[in-house]
Amino acid sequence: MRVVLHVGLPKTGTTYLQSLLATHRDALRAGGVLHPFLRPGAMFHAAVELRGSAAKFGLAESEVAGTWAALCERARAHDGPVLLGHEVLAGATPEQVAATLAPLDGHEVDVVVTARDLGRQATAHWQEEVKLGDTRSFAAFEAGELRADTGRDAGPDAGGVRPHFWHAQDWSWALQRWSTAVPAARVHLVVCPGPGREPAELWRRFAAAARLDPGLVDAEAVAPANPSLGRSEVALLRAVNAELVEGRAGRLDRDAYLRVVKRELAEGELAAHGSGASDRPRAPYRLADVLGEATERWLAELAASDHPVHGDLAELGPVLGGPDDPDPDAPVPPGEDPARIAADLVARAAGAPAAAPEDPRRPRRGGLFRRRLRG
């Protein structure tokens, strides 16, 4: 029995890979590879259990207790490769790493860390925070996180806690932490393909790290998940969040917010009717210093290690906007009324009919908000 443990990082094609494995669970099993199914969301619950973060995700301890042990029991019963993991494990401490691997003692374990360039990660991370309710501009995110790193040893004794962006995206640190319990030669770095490359290339690199036949799955069967929003959509979502924070339209509990705002509005309607790739926010050119220096430092650490690399390290160079490209916070054309959208979302969460548009003759897109006014 050999276990392949994919631990993220977040926003590095993890949802695509997880969906691909789940879709092809039977085909993998026919090829001798186990991707165990315990119940919907079991991998996530297991990662939350191991990280001790149930409350953070609005879960009760009883909902996640014993999940990792049950998955490991199924893994130990299989004679062949086993695929496990979730991106929540990327931030595991050395103590949590040891607890994760304890039920697999005596079996060979390969750990896979997926990484993407910090330029695309910066805007993706900011956008994900907005999808989760954040109202910050990119400039505020840059000041509060991108330029506020206090180092890997940050903590109460070091003057603070490391900003979430750096804790989540420091792939070299993740490699080091997982190497405290697994030999570095079995802790793999998979480089996410650069812009314009087909998603299937990520699967081929992952399969190489996992020592699997890439032909066991159809890499085109699953579309890339979590499509990026344009500047217009992000600006609208921030404004809607502000309305909900102030409570002018009413309030949503966490579960309702994730359902009607994150999934239905942001990842559903806004993503489907977005303004296109040309309007997607790009990390500003001014970030070349902080993102470039971090990347060079991590590449130097990697060069001094025994970690196997799958993919082209040049693709980890930060992808940034040009000097004349619009800033992520640059003004965008006027769109829908965020106050009305917020009121509609609160009504939807409560199961009530959405408010009628101001002008009944104007159609409403997707039954939620009015068509965008242009110019």
pLDDT tens, position by position, 288-347: 999 999 999 999 999 999 999 999 999 999 999 999 999 999 987 767 889 999 999 999
User: What type of residue is 294?
Assistant: A
| Residue 278 burial (CB count, 10 A) | 6
Q: What's the mean per-residue pLDDT of the chain?
A: 89
Q: Which residues pair with 5 in a beta bridge?
A: 84, 111
| Three-class DSSP category at 108 | strand
Does 175 share its domain with 267? no
**Is 45 inside a domain boundary?**
yes
User: What type of residue is 76?
Assistant: R
Contacts (Cβ under 8 Å, ≥6 apart) of 351: none
Does 111 share its domain with 255? no
Does 309 share its domain with 340? no
pLDDT in tens, 7-33: 999 999 999 999 999 999 999 999 999
Domain around 268:
231-280+333-370
pLDDT in tens, 309-320: 999 999 999 999
Distance CA 318, CA 205 (A): 20
| Residue 253 burial (CB count, 10 A) | 9
pLDDT at 372: 37
**Is 134 inside a domain boundary?**
no
Torsion-angle region of residue 342: left (phi > 0), alpha (psi -120 to 50) or beta? alpha
Does 192 share its domain with 257? no
Does 275 share its domain with 293? no
Distance CA 368, CA 42 (A): 32
Distance CA 148, CA 158 (A): 13
Does 207 share its domain with 239? no
Which of 47, 67, 69 is closest to 57 using CA atoms? 47
Which of 258, 325, 338, 259 is closest to 288 using CA atoms? 325
pLDDT in tens, 129-170: 999 999 999 999 999 999 999 888 765 444 457 899 999 999
Q: Number of structural domains, the chain?
A: 2
Distance CA 177, CA 48 (A): 18
Q: Is 371's pLDDT higher than 60?
A: no
